[in-house]
């Protein structure tokens, strides 16, 4: 009987000497990245590494989401719906990864977390400035959130900048106006540091788009992409809330929030309310105001 070797030899062309070349590790700064986990529990609790990596990984994905959202906004400003939708398609995949990550953290039992939770002090995911920037870019503006970052001037500067800029929804609405739709002036000239307020006039515009898809297919497709974006975000919020409930029950958050109750209220927030409201209107007979 011939025994096959359970090994694979290196091909002759494979690079092995990186003393004077850029390697995988140097390109990705792995020395820095993999040494950025600093548990604070004493003695170090086994599960704190999971807790740190879960949140660091989320922050890396959020950095990419911000990168993509900025291009979405710019593309909408330039009437380039194709590029905007390409970036949103990528964001949707990132959102799926972010949501699935909660199942990893959910393996942390209440007993295990309680053994090092006190060592975290007042640090909390509530203080993620990248998450707030994502919310701002999607349209959930809240200037009051910026004061949380008074101890981090760079984060505060970023959020103040994003707060003063248009959201991707603002830019989509402006694109609709450039396409000739009767967008109310108050939506085009509004204070963009505030959260978007529901507009029935915008619902009527979306009704036209949805009931005449052959004429407005690209806009119709864009509307559905935005709905996907919000659906995915809400699913992420829900999984966050359920993971927190599973891990700490109804305890207050380490950052001082009410915990699960605070996260539940976030589920009531919406980025693109008219895109959901129009679903009630589609197919309904129009009433002649005369």
156 annotated ligand-binding residue:
no
**What pLDDT shows up at residue 6?**
85
SS3 23: coil
Domain boundaries, the chain: 44-248+276-281
Per-residue confidence (pLDDT) for residue 122, from 0 to 100: 86
Distance CA(47)–CA(116), nearest Å, equals 9
Show Cβ contacts of residue 240 under 8 Å, excluding neighbours closer than 6 positions.
102, 263
Q: Are 151 and 126 in contact (CB under 8 A)?
A: no
Q: Which residues of 138-162 are buried (b: 16+ CB within 10 A; e: fewer)?
A: bbbbeeebbebbeeeeebbebbeeb
Asked whether residue 52 is marked as a ligand-binding residue, the answer is: yes
Cβ atoms of 276 and 196 within 8 Å: the answer is no
14 is in an annotated binding site: no
Average pLDDT over residues 176-197: 97
Per-residue pLDDT, averaged over 22-47, amounts to 96
Confidence of residue 288 (pLDDT cuts 50, 70, 90): low
Instruction: Check whether 117 is labelled as a binding-site residue.
Output: yes
Radius of gyration of the chain (CA): 24
Q: Given this model, what pLDDT does residue 83 score?
A: 98
On whether 99 is known to bind a ligand per the annotation, the reply is no
Given pLDDT bands bounded at 50, 70 and 90, which one contains residue 290? low
Residue-wise pLDDT for 64-118, tens only, equals 999 999 999 999 999 999 999 999 999 999 999 999 999 999 999 999 999 999 9
* Helical spans, DSSP H, in 78-199: 81-105, 110-114, 129-138, 153-164, 168-178, 185-188
- Other CB atoms within a 10 A radius of the CB of residue 229 amount to 22
Tell whether 2 is in a known binding site.
no
The DSSP element (H or E) to which 266 belongs, if any, is helix 260-266
**Distance between CA atoms of 17 and 20, rounded to whole angstroms?**
8
One-character DSSP codes across 152-172: -HHHHHHHHHHHHSPPHHHHH
Q: Tell me: is residue 88 an annotated ligand-binding position.
A: no
- HSE at residue 93, side-chain half, CA atoms within 13 A, is 7
What pLDDT does 289 receive? 54
User: What's the pLDDT tens digit per position in 135-154?
Assistant: 999 999 999 999 999 999 99
The mean per-residue pLDDT over the stretch 199-205 comes to: 97
pLDDT of residue 287: 62
- Does domain 44-248+276-281 bear CATH number 1.20.58.480? yes
Cα 259 from Cα 274, distance rounded (Å): 29
Average pLDDT, the chain: 94
Cβ-proximal residues to 117 (8 Å cutoff; 6+ apart), any chain? 248, 254
| Reported pTM | 0.93
282 is in an annotated binding site: no
Calculate mean pLDDT across residues 244-259.
Answer: 87
Over residues 277-287, the pLDDT tens digits come to 999 999 877 76
Q: Distance (Å, rounded) from C-alpha 207 to C-alpha 282?
A: 6
């Amino acid at each position: 009987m011939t025994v096959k070797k359970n090994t694979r030899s290196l091909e002759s062309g494979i690079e092995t000497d990186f003393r004077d070349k850029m390697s995988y590790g140097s390109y990705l700064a792995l020395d820095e990245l993999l040494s950025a986990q600093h548990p604070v529990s004493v003695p170090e609790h086994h599960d704190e590494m999971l807790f740190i990596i879960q949140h660091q990984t989320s922050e890396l994905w959020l950095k990419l989401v911000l990168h993509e959202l900025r291009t979405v906004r710019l593309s909408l400003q330039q009437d380039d719906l194709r590029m905007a939708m390409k970036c949103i398609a990528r964001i949707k995949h990132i959102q799926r990864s972010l949501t699935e990550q909660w199942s990893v953290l959910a393996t942390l039992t209440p007993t295990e977390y309680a053994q090092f939770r006190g060592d975290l002090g007042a640090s909390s995911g509530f203080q993620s400035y990248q998450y707030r920037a994502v919310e701002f870019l999607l349209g959930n503006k809240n200037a009051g959130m910026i004061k949380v970052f008074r101890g981090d001037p760079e984060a505060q500067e970023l959020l103040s900048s994003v707060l003063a800029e248009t959201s991707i929804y603002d830019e989509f609405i402006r694109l609709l106006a450039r396409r000739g739709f009767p967008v109310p002036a108050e939506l085009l000239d509004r204070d963009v540091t505030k959260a978007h307020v529901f507009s029935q006039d915008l619902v009527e515009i979306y009704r036209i788009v949805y009931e005449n898809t052959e004429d407005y297919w690209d806009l119709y497709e864009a509307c559905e992409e935005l709905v996907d974006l919000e659906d995915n975000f809400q699913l992420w919020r829900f999984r966050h809330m359920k993971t927190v409930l599973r891990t700490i029950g109804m305890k207050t958050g380490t950052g001082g929030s009410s915990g699960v109750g605070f996260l539940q209220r976030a589920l009531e927030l919406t980025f693109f309310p008219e895109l959901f409201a129009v679903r009630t209107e589609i197919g309904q007979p129009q009433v002649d105001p005369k």
